Amino acid sequence: MSFKVQPSGFDTKAIHAGQSPEQWKSACVIPPISLSTTFKQDAPGEHRGYEYSRSGNPTRNVLETCLAALDNAKYGLTFSSGLGATTAVLTMLSSGDHIILGDDVYGGTNRLVRQVASRLGISATFVDPTNLEKLKAAIQPGTKLIWIETPTNPLIKVADIKEIATMCHGIREDLILAVDNTFLTSYFQRPLELGADLVCYSLTKYMNGHTDVVMGGITMNCDKLHGSLKFLQNAIGIVPSPFDCYQVNRSLKTLSLRMKQHQHNSIKIAKYLETHEFVEKVLHPALPSHPQHHIALKQTYGYSGVFSFYIKGELKQSSAFLKALQVFTLAESLGGYESLAELPSVMTHASVPAEDRKTLGITDGLIRLSVGLEDADDLINDLSQALDIASKI
């Protein structure tokens, strides 16, 4: 079996959606960077679509149009970071509202909900997103939002978006389903087509792909949700800079090319690790050994470069492994052209309560890789020599 077949047209949209030269008096082929913070008005209260750059910016609009097109969405909005996008979604809620999140989410999302949203009177329940019955049981009269990542971070669990969407909208039509699609991008997964209401991104990662921009994004079809989030984008002020928007817009032009290579490298490396005697378990949805392999095949068009594996031993062995890497860089984040490795238990997910980490399986032996665009054999050789060193500790 294989992943879904990618329909034609994605690359054409990535290159042309929102980019028409006719929208500029100069007819420039590449959209310009509009750095102006304010715009001349023809008369008091009469402007040509722009008045203040926080409220709207030509360069940002170009990116948002392209972003929406890649998800086959009606609207796209961008924010100052991935967590900025999450903050906008949470700010739609009110004190007394309840939300459901996957139990294995990005550490920053976990921290934002537990330590910030909770102080504003928003309660939360964390549930395994692969267990539909538990998700359904967690819904309360005051539940307004279900937030899932699929695949999850860092345990790479795959949730069935279509089943979850059918379940939550069957219970209440106004129950919002938001899917964090950072790991797969719109090239490999398009949650709106599966019934999600909002698709959220850390554009910092694969969508930009060059490790030089921090930004977030949301796509949607619902007019009401767009109106609310557009208002909050301006009211809260969590907008990206025009230069950063230019950078991400540029990066989307090569998104499919990069994602194909990330996929090729990560699958080759995952297969290698699965045969290594010092590796206990590999968590990669493209492998038949993955518990939700069948779901990944039916709802996605492929897989990216981020996955996790368990090394034998404890912190001493995992630290030795990570310090011995020469091509992979020991660093947080993911999705760039360079390969990164990290230890979630003490890095990206250190803010998750220790008891929760233990329950979930985020141990000191769990290593997360972001496989880049280097030659796969060089990356395998690097992992091999580091595993050899760790195994002798």
For this structure, is 106 an active site residue? Answer: yes
> What three-state secondary structure class fits 176?
strand
The tokens for 346 are 């003490």
- Residue of 156, 83, 183, 109 lying closest to 349 (CA atoms): 109
Catalytic residue among 60, 157, 190, 205: 205
Dihedral pair phi/psi, residue 217, rounded to 5°: -150, 160
Catalytic residue among 4, 11, 50, 54: 54
Residues sharing a CB contact under 8 Å with residue 245, sequence separation 6 or more, in sequence order: 57, 59, 60, 62, 63, 78, 215
The tokens for 331 are 């660093």
Catalytic residue among 103, 104, 180, 364: 180
In whole angstroms, give the CA distance from residue 56 to residue 195.
Answer: 29
Q: CA 91: distance to chain centroid?
A: 19
In whole angstroms, give the CA distance from residue 99 to residue 77.
Answer: 22
For this structure, is 303 an active site residue? Answer: no
Of the CA atoms within 13 Å of residue 268, those in its CB half-sphere come to 18
In whole angstroms, give the CA distance from residue 109 to residue 112.
Answer: 5
In whole angstroms, give the CA distance from residue 211 to residue 333.
Answer: 9
For this structure, is 260 an active site residue? Answer: no
For this structure, is 11 an active site residue? Answer: no
In whole angstroms, give the CA distance from residue 77 to residue 317.
Answer: 43
Catalytic residue among 71, 97, 106, 303: 106
- Residue of 232, 299, 303, 295 lying closest to 266 (CA atoms): 303
Residues sharing a CB contact under 8 Å with residue 184, sequence separation 6 or more, in sequence order: 151, 206, 300, 303, 304
Count Cβ neighbours within 10 Å for each residue of 27-41 and write b for 16 or more, e otherwise. Answer: eeeebebbeeeebee
- Alpha helices by DSSP H, listed for 204-314, are 223-236, 242-251, 255-274, 293-299
Point out the residues that are catalytic: 54, 106, 180, 205
